Homo-oligomer: A and B are copies of this chain.
Amino acid sequence: MIKLGKLTDYAIVVLTQLSQESDGARSAPQLAEKTGIPEPTVAKVLKTLAREKLVESLRGAAGGYRLAKRAQDMSLCEVIEAVEGPIAITSCVTEAPEPCGAEGRCPSRGKWDPVNRAIRLALQELKLSDMASRGCGAPAQRLIQVTMPRALEEGRAK
C-alpha cells in the first residue's frame, strides 16, 4: 500500500475549505473550527503550505491565509510535494547530487522513472477543485472524520 501521510490529507482538506471561502483571508483558528482538525495541526500544515507558496499568508492582527492560485489551477501533485517532498516511488531515485554509495552505479537507477512520471502526470491532472466537487451533501468537515480509518488497512495482511 502506497500511502499518504495524514498531514497531506489535512492539507487537502484545509485547502479545499479555503477554496470555498469567499474572497479574503481566513485565520488558522477559523479553518480549524470549520474543518474539525485540531488547531495546532492546522497551523502546522498551513505554515508548510505557506513556505511552499501554495497559500499566501498575511501577518498581523487581521491576518490569515488565502490560496496563492485558483483551485482549478492547483494540482494535487503540488500539494503532495509541498507536504511530503518530491514524489518518487523509491528513495534512491530522487535528484540528490551524489546519492548512491562509492563506486559502481546503481543498476536500477532510472528504471523507476517511467513509474514516477506516470504518477506525477496523473497527480498533475487532478486539481484541487476536483476534490471539492462532491456528489453528496457532506461538508468538508466530515471529510476529516471520514478519512483514514487506519485500522482498516490491516485487512490487507489477510
With contact pairs A143-B107, A145-B101 given, residues A90 and B3 touching in the complex (Cβ less than 8 Å): yes
Interface size on A, residues (CB 8 A): 61
The residue that A148 contacts in the complex, of B87, B90, B117, B134, with Cβ under 8 A, is: B90
Q: In angstroms, how far is the closest chain B Cβ from the Cβ of A38?
A: 18
Q: Say if the beta carbon of A115 comes within 8 Å of chain B.
A: yes
**When the two chains form their complex, are residues A136 and B1 in contact, meaning their CB atoms are under 8 A apart?**
no
Q: Say if the beta carbon of A121 comes within 8 Å of chain B.
A: yes
With contact pairs A1-B91, A84-B2 given, residues A106 and B152 touching in the complex (Cβ less than 8 Å): no
Q: Say if the beta carbon of A24 comes within 8 Å of chain B.
A: no
Closest 3 CB pairs of A and B: A85-B156, A118-B122, A107-B134
